[in-house]
Amino acid sequence: MTVFYKFEGKMYINITNGCPCRCVFCLRDNGDSIKDNDSLWLEHEPSYEEIIAAYEAFDKSGITDAVFCGYGEPTVRADMMVRVAQYIKDNSDMRIRLNSNGLVKLIHPDFDITSLKGLIDSVSISLNAPDACRYNEVTRPSFGEKSFDIMLDFAREMKNVCGNVAFTVVDIISEDEISRCQSLADSMGIPLRVRHYITDNESYT
């Protein structure tokens, strides 16, 4: 079971395979590992004790950055993510990034986003589309079209929590749509990164 793995010099943290979305570009449909790491499909969701044991056993030499990512949406286990981030902060100098679909308030309506303050240093949020209708087609969230606005609210709130927020889109949408995503990101003062669609297991960041 791979909870921690190295990718491009960073330590990735895989705590769940759960996700309320079915993005059309999701790598979960195209393989189950990243580079030469073992399968990222978890046999079961690891307990806090299992995660900490895996962290302690992981070779962290030279690693300065940790990323909650993996083959699921980390905020499906938001409380566990907070506990693990706290442990990493207490026991290292690593910066911690969260890669998220931004839907934690739909997944866990009672989750307090401000609890991420001081734990999550940066967040990368999947914008995916320029409007709610296209977002619904590309991301296919179980919550439906309201997800788009909730995701944007999460991005706004995270600007206050960690100040370092970025959006991503995958280049499966049209150039015009990417341009509209850029305008939306600009209007929110959030940088946008365009990711190239990949169909193999070369990257999942």
Residues near ligand SF4 (CB under 6 A) are 19, 21-23, 26, 28, 72-73, 101, 126
Name the residue nearer to ligand SF4 (CB basis): 48 or 197. Answer: 197
Name the residue nearer to ligand SF4 (CB basis): 72 or 130. Answer: 72
Which structure tokens are listed for 110? 């009672």
Q: How far is the CB of 49 from ligand SF4 (least distance, A)?
A: 25
Name the residue nearer to ligand SF4 (CB basis): 3 or 19. Answer: 19
- Cβ within 8 Å of residue 118, ≥6 positions away: 89
Q: How far is the CB of 62 from ligand SF4 (least distance, A)?
A: 28
Q: How far is the CB of 103 from ligand SF4 (least distance, A)?
A: 8
Name the residue nearer to ligand SF4 (CB basis): 28 or 89. Answer: 28
* 8 A C-beta contact, residue 96 and residue 119: yes
Q: How far is the CB of 26 from ligand SF4 (least distance, A)?
A: 3
The residue length of the chain stands at 205
- Cβ within 8 Å of residue 15, ≥6 positions away: 3, 45, 46, 51, 68, 70, 72, 74, 77, 80, 81, 84
Residue 80, CA distances (Å) to 43, 46, 111, 142 in order: 17, 10, 12, 22
